[in-house]
Amino acid sequence: MKKIAEIREEFEAADFDSYEELFHKYTEDDRSGVKNLIAKYSRKKQAYEDELARTESLKAYEHKYDHLGYVCGIDEVGRGPLAGPVVACAVILPTDCDILYLDDSKKLSEKKREELYDVIMEKAVSVGIGMRDHRRIDEINILRATYEAMREAIANLRVTPQILLNDAVTIPEVIIPQVPIIKGDQKSVSIAAASIVAKVTRDRLMCEYDKVVPEYGFKDNKGYGSAAHIEALKKYGPCPIHRRTFIQHFV
């Protein structure tokens, strides 16, 4: 009879498709340690199957429009901060996309976003990034700057999409058909992927700014108006990347 430690190693080395075989193999083993292993990996398998189903449900818009050709998801990050750019991302995923755990970037941990960023960049048909800095935001306002960033993201794709799935907005001056989806980053894998790439891109940039002007805590607040950020703004005044039209109440 195998030791429980050996059986545990079997489960740890197995993939999800092999779990059923292991469950059947050890179902007659009455040892509590083995029963606990089967229960643990049964829960793990169920969670995996639930995620497969959830991900498939997020492909409804992609399936609806994929007969047109390339379906592109678009989202932005950084409309609300007091400092730094607004970043938009456009993502075209393959029709047989198998990336799991895609979701609204705000719902994911930083570690999970970083992991998914690498997977998206590897598996996407194309990814386009656009951004507008604090100066442009102050010059034309945040909404128009966001639209410019989105148009730039579309222009930076390697292929031209036939349909755009947008998180809630309709982008002016774009001739490609658009489908605005309320809370789109929770309803479309393409928009969720764009949300993640946009956020990781912007967060990394704000961490670089933090090395230059560490007193504002950009590494932690990413330019948003946290209490510590506002206190630093009042103490030190604005730094070069602060949005002057956003900080009038504080300085």
Residue-range domains of the chain with CATH: 4-57 (no CATH), 60-202 (3.30.420.10)
What's the whole-model pTM score?
A: 0.92
**pLDDT at residue 178, rounded to an integer:** 98
pLDDT of residue 102: 97
Percent of the chain scoring above 90 in pLDDT: 91
Which residues lie closer than 8 Å to 211 by C-beta, 6 or more apart?
Answer: none
Would you say 162 and 190 are in contact if contact means Cβ atoms under 8 Å apart?
A: no
For the stretch 63-74, pLDDT in tens is 999 999 999 999
User: CB count, 10 Å around CB of 238?
Assistant: 17
Is 156 in a helix, a strand, or coil? Answer: coil
Asked if residue 241 has pLDDT above 90, the reply is yes
At residue 250, the pLDDT reads: 83
Q: How far is CA 32 from CA 26, 42, 187, in A?
A: 12, 15, 42
Q: pLDDT band at residue 17, thresholds of 50, 70 and 90?
A: confident
Q: pLDDT tens, 47-56?
A: 999 999 999 9
For residues 248 and 237, what is the distance between their CA atoms, to the nearest angstrom? 11
CA distance 141 to 243: 10
Flag whether pLDDT at 182 surpasses 90.
yes
- What torsion, rounded to 10 degrees, do the Cα atoms 128, 134, 138, 139 define? -60
Are the CB atoms for 111 and 234 separated by under 8 Å? no
Q: How far is CA 234 from the centre of its chain?
A: 32
Q: Supply φ then ψ for residue 141, to 5 degrees.
A: 90, 160
